[in-house]
Structure 1
Amino acid sequence: MTQQRLKAGFGYGVVATIAMSILMLLALVSGMSPMPQPIPKVVVAHLVGSGAPKPILMALAVGLHLGYGGLFGAILARIARPVTLRKGISLGVGLWVIMQVTFLPFLDWGLFGTAITPQIAVATLVLHLVYGGVLGWSMDRDMPSTSGESPTTAD
């Protein structure tokens, strides 16, 4: 049962990552995003070099972003029973904090993106709340809880 739960968590993590990515891309395309480029793409370009062909950079960025989201979905599924909306949002906020203090400084964007604009912190928080909300709302929604609590309302 644990392996099946990990696979489900990974799948729901990927779905949640797709939801946040769609919102991120819509904001970028509409000009509403304070980010100059998608963060996963910038991270990959820093790791492999910005001279790599754009299709390769994008494929790596998408793959790593989906894998990262799926991995943390699986981790949440492993440690939380049931996965609830509150637990999903807590994970999203935790991942947001990690991003703010590790990835953004790595990109020379500063803590919380302040080297570019403080609006990056708010925009990425919204994206991570979407990730956590989708994951927490969907993961155990159709599974009966052993405690009798609804996954969308339980702590």
Structure 2
Amino acid sequence: MTQREWGKAIALGLINGILLAVIMVTLKKSGLSPMPAPLGLAFADTISGRHLPLPIGLLFHLAYVTFWSVVFVALFRPHLTFARAAMLAAGLWIFALIVFVPIVGWGMLGLKVGPQIILGLFITHSLFCIFVWGLCRVFFPQPGHHATGISGQT
């Protein structure tokens, strides 16, 4: 990838992370989130051994989402398909359930808190998939396709 493409991949990741953070914070503040706390904040609290403010958790989240968005672009460019985005999102969902969730004390798969953790993380990782794929369509349009992904043929 060129230096410009790396920059676009990082920008794409930052936008993806911001979109997801806005949704998650809105759901948490409205009482609709199935999570007891944002996972990035719970992880930051756990590794620091103390309660940290929400912006620190959001920075953890933003770094994580940006990293995996850039990995997606770097690994799969020029074939940034929805199926590949879905496979990455599914892998990250499983990883979160068997690594991050137990680390923060919510138990394997989050079952110490309840099964809603599985669904909550599924939804956020599904949104990650949709956003990373959609943003790739804008930032890295395929030859012969418009940014919407529709070719000029009917």
TM-score (normalised: structure 1): 0.83
Whole-angstrom CA distance in 1 between matches of 2:13 and 2:85: 10
State the match for 1:7 in structure 2: 7
Q: CA RMSD in A?
A: 2.2
Is 2:103 the partner of 1:112? no
State the match for 2:142 in structure 1: 145
Is 2:90 the partner of 1:76? no
Please tell me whether the aligned partners of residues 109 and 116 of structure 1 are also in contact (alpha carbons under 8 angstroms): yes
Question: How far apart are residue 144 of structure 1 and its match?
Answer: 4.3
Please tell me whether the aligned partners of residues 86 and 136 of structure 1 are also in contact (alpha carbons under 8 angstroms): no
SS of alignment partner, residue 137 of structure 2: coil
Question: How far apart are residue 117 of structure 1 and its match?
Answer: 0.6
| Structure 1 segments unaligned to the other structure (5+ residues) | none
Please tell me whether the aligned partners of residues 8 and 139 of structure 1 are also in contact (alpha carbons under 8 angstroms): no
Whole-angstrom CA distance in 1 between matches of 2:65 and 2:141: 24
Question: How far apart are residue 6 of structure 1 and its match?
Answer: 2.3
State the match for 1:130 in structure 2: 127
Deviations along 1:92-129, one digit per CA (max 9) or x if unpaired, are 22211111110001112112211101111101110111
Question: How far apart are residue 150 of structure 1 and its match?
Answer: 7.3
Q: Which amino acid aligns with 2:59?
A: G
Higher relative contact order (CA 8 A, sep 6+): 1
Question: How far apart are residue 137 of structure 1 and its match?
Answer: 1.1
| Structure 2 segments unaligned to the other structure (5+ residues) | none
Q: Identity percentage over the alignment?
A: 23
Question: How far apart are residue 3 of structure 1 and its match?
Answer: 2.7
Aligned residues: 148
Whole-angstrom CA distance in 2 between matches of 1:23 and 1:62: 12
Whole-angstrom CA distance in 2 between matches of 1:140 and 1:100: 29
Is 2:53 the partner of 1:64? no
Q: Which amino acid aligns with 1:76?
A: F
Whole-angstrom CA distance in 2 between matches of 1:144 and 1:25: 30
TM-score (normalised: structure 2): 0.84
